[in-house]
């Protein structure tokens, strides 16, 4: 498991993870809907092409479709959804390019940090 997911589970006063099995599903979901610093997207978005609609979003009526307004027809809603999904390949390409650049930078930092050991 990712370290961040493990750290998200509640711990005892001694720092030991407590009842991890009760929280792991929530922690994994939270990880999947959290924007990555590297790609700029959530893993959920990269897989499905849309951000998840969370209960808080429903309570606050913040819909994940740009251009949404009340009273839209079904065809207008489908048009917005189609437009949103058609952008997904471009978003995936942008995320892949960002990730590649981050990996190249990480490699450069590693080589710089350990250049004496690598010679």
Indicate the pTM of the whole model.
0.50
The number of CA neighbours under 13 Å toward the Cβ of 87 is 11
Per-residue model confidence (pLDDT) at position 109: 93
Which range, 54-58, 82-86, 89-93, has the best average confidence (pLDDT)?
A: 89-93
DSSP alpha helices (H): ranges in the chain? 3-8, 20-32, 43-48, 55-60, 74-86, 88-113, 115-118
Q: What is the pLDDT of residues 37-69, one digit of tens each?
A: 888 888 899 988 888 876 655 444 444 556 777
Q: What's the mean pLDDT in 90-114? A: 89
Per-residue model confidence (pLDDT) at position 66: 66
Q: What is the pLDDT of residues 18-39, one digit of tens each?
A: 777 777 777 788 788 888 888 8
Q: What is the pLDDT of residues 6-21, one digit of tens each?
A: 766 666 667 676 777 7
């Amino acid at each position: 498991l990712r370290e961040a997911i493990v750290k998200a589970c509640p711990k005892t006063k001694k720092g030991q993870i407590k009842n991890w099995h009760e929280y792991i599903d929530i922690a994994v979901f939270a990880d999947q809907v959290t924007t990555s610093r590297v790609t700029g997207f959530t893993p959920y978005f990269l897989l499905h092409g849309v951000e998840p609609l969370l209960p808080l979003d429903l309570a606050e009526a913040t819909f994940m479709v740009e251009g949404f307004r009340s009273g839209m027809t079904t065809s207008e809603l489908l048009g917005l959804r189609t437009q949103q999904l058609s952008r997904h390949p471009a978003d995936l390409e942008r995320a892949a390019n960002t990730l590649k650049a981050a990996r190249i930078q990480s490699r450069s930092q590693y080589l710089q940090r350990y250049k004496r050991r690598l010679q």
